[in-house]
Amino acid sequence: MSAEGFDLVEALLDLHSSQGSAVLRLEKEGVKKQLAVRGGRVAFAESNIAEEHLARVLVDLGRISRADLTAVATLMKSGKPSDEALLESGKVDAAGLAEGVRAQAVAILASLLPWSDSDASVFSGDRALHRATDGQIPIPELLVLAARRAVEGRRLPAGLLPLKGSVLRSADARRVQLAAALDPAEAAVYVAAESPVDAQLLVSRLARDGTKAEEAACRLLLLGLIELRSPTPAADGAQRSSEEEAADARLERRLDDMLQRFEVASHYEILSIAPDATTDQIQAAYHELAKEFHPDRFPAEQFSPEFRARVEKLFTSINGAYTILSDPAARITYDDSRLAQSQVEAAQRARVGMAADNEKIADALFRAGRMSMAQHDYEKAVAHLKECVWLRSDVARYRLYLGVAESQIPKYRKEAEEHLLKAIELDRMGIESYLALGRLYMKVNLPRRAEVQFNEVLRWDPHHAEAQRLLEEAASERERSEKEKRR
């Protein structure tokens, strides 16, 4: 079937509700991608795009190096699937492979959400579900993560931005399953769209609270949680000539372009004047724009409420720029703040270059720390990895390995717990972090806490042999401790 009659989100949510198994395959212009669902959860995803191959994803995650790809490719040429080849190569462990499978599924689904005009096929049952690795990824969470990735990478359907018309919450009950996985910004848009609301007014209102509403709205639109309705036509419903409609279309395009530019424009750019413009030039520029865009030129009986709201937003920017620049004292204050801002931006650009250097240094320190751990020199490993975390505190795997190294040294075990908890906060799907934290709790005789961590691993991977073994060990230790207390 063609994608025109196929809704990927709807198909996945149906499989989630029914706990069904199927392979969803989409193809467009020679690009082939598929999602394998087993028991209502995504087991894995595949693509014929090199950047989305599992081994390449693991390279991006830092789980394997580019040099390791040769050994993996050799095993795959002998007929082994990618996950088996990766495990057999010894370049990555089961936890690292599971992380790669999840990241690959997010990346592939993110690229599929905006697709249109593709060929779609659904293979029911266990057909093609032959890979040993099963990511066991909950579909609602995966869909929301993929929508965020798609919007972040500006992978959006043509014409979606800027948002035009009104938005309204979808009436499809299946989509409601996604609501629990939304972040605060997405939830704010979802709640606000309970009844039809102008998209630009909604974005503007939520932006005042610091919410990135436009990006959040795009994510909800990709997921079908909200719907975008076209702007309301003129209220009188009168027949209009093709020339009038063409003129309105040109005005719409110009209005959208100006609104987009004004988001980041200076007051001088809004009025289209030079920074050294005279008072007369400022006044003349304002009057020209007012003649064209004063809200009184767009009466309610001829223009829709949504269109008038956008005109009012535009004129607010124009009027604000004129108010500041026509007042000499306010203009001096504004010019001083622009100068200070330019200096801040220059400093930020310098920090961006420093950040790139820090990333390279952190990566080198991470490799050195891993090598020291392999040699059981945990003191040296902690020293390297602390520097690594100091440079890049937002990288989960740096926190994880620092926590593992510190857990080997009794005096550092409290710090180890903090770093492992932070690693989990940064990557909720990181099975290895839960395992490491559970092992740490076993070391310090807290078996009940350890059980919680091992159960979390099994929630993601019910067949994880190491987690099952450790859970039994923790349960046995807890029971022994409770017996001793009762004596």
Q: How far is CA 412 from CA 233, 369, 425, in A?
A: 67, 16, 20
CA atoms within 13 A on the CB side of 158: 3
* Percent of the chain with pLDDT strictly greater than 90: 21
Residue 45, both tokens: 């995803």
Least confident of 182-191, 205-214, 424-433: 205-214
The domain spans of the chain are: 3-139, 166-229, 243-326, 358-486
CB atoms within 10 A of CB 187: 16
Strands of the sheet containing 197-198, edge to edge, are 197-198, 166-169, 226-229
Mean pLDDT is highest, among 110-114, 195-199, 298-302, for 110-114
**How would residue 3 be classed by pLDDT, with cut points 50, 70 and 90?**
very low
Residue entry with tokens 């040769």:
70
Predicted confidence at residue 345, as pLDDT, reads: 57
Nearest-angstrom CA–CA distance, 316 and 88: 64
Tokens of 191: 């709640």
pLDDT at 106 over 90: yes
Cα 163 from chain centroid (whole Å): 20
pLDDT in tens, 295-352: 877 777 677 888 888 888 888 899 889 988 988 888 888 888 877 776 665 555 555 4
pLDDT confidence of residue 210: 59
Which one-letter amino acid corresponds to residue 240?
R
Q: Which residue has the higher pLDDT, 63 or 156?
A: 63
By mean pLDDT, which of 41-55, 61-75, 129-143, 224-238 is the weakest? 224-238
Strands, sheet with 31-38, edge to edge from the N-terminal-most edge strand:
119-124, 22-28, 31-38, 41-47, 137-138
**Whole-number mean pLDDT of the chain?**
83
Count of alpha carbons within 13 Å of 450, Cβ hemisphere only? 23
CA-based diameter of the chain, in Å? 94
Cα distance between residue 101 and residue 136, in whole Å: 10
Mean pLDDT (whole number) for 70-96: 82
- How far apart CA 450 and CA 460 sit, in angstroms, is 16
Condensed to tens digits (0 to 9), the pLDDT of residues 346-397 reads 555 555 455 566 777 888 888 888 888 888 889 999 988 998 888 888 888 8
Residue 214 φ then ψ, to 5°: -65, -45
pLDDT for res 134: 81
Q: What pairs with residue 23 in β-bridges?
A: 36, 123
The CATH T-level fold of domain 358-486 is 1.25.40
Percentage of residues in the chain having pLDDT higher than 70:
88
What does the alpha-carbon distance between residue 109 and residue 279 come to, in Å, rounded to a whole number?
A: 55
125-129, 284-288, 294-298, 476-480: which has the minimum mean pLDDT? 125-129
Q: Is the pLDDT at 237 greater than 60, yes or no?
A: no
Q: What is the pLDDT of residues 415-430, one digit of tens each?
A: 999 999 999 888 877 7
- What's the rounded Cα separation, in Å, for the pair 163 and 160? 6
- Rounded (10°) CA dihedral 384, 467, 12, 148: -20
Is the pLDDT reported for residue 133 higher than 90? Answer: no
The predicted pLDDT at position 407 comes to 93
Cα–Cα distances in angstroms (integers) from residue 238 to residues 97, 232, 298, in the given order: 63, 13, 16
Written as six digits, the tokens of 202 are 């909604």
Is 85 or 116 the better-scoring residue by pLDDT?
85
pLDDT score recorded for residue 171: 78
Q: How far out from the chain centre does Cα 275 lie?
A: 39
CATH architecture of 243-326: Orthogonal Bundle (1.10)
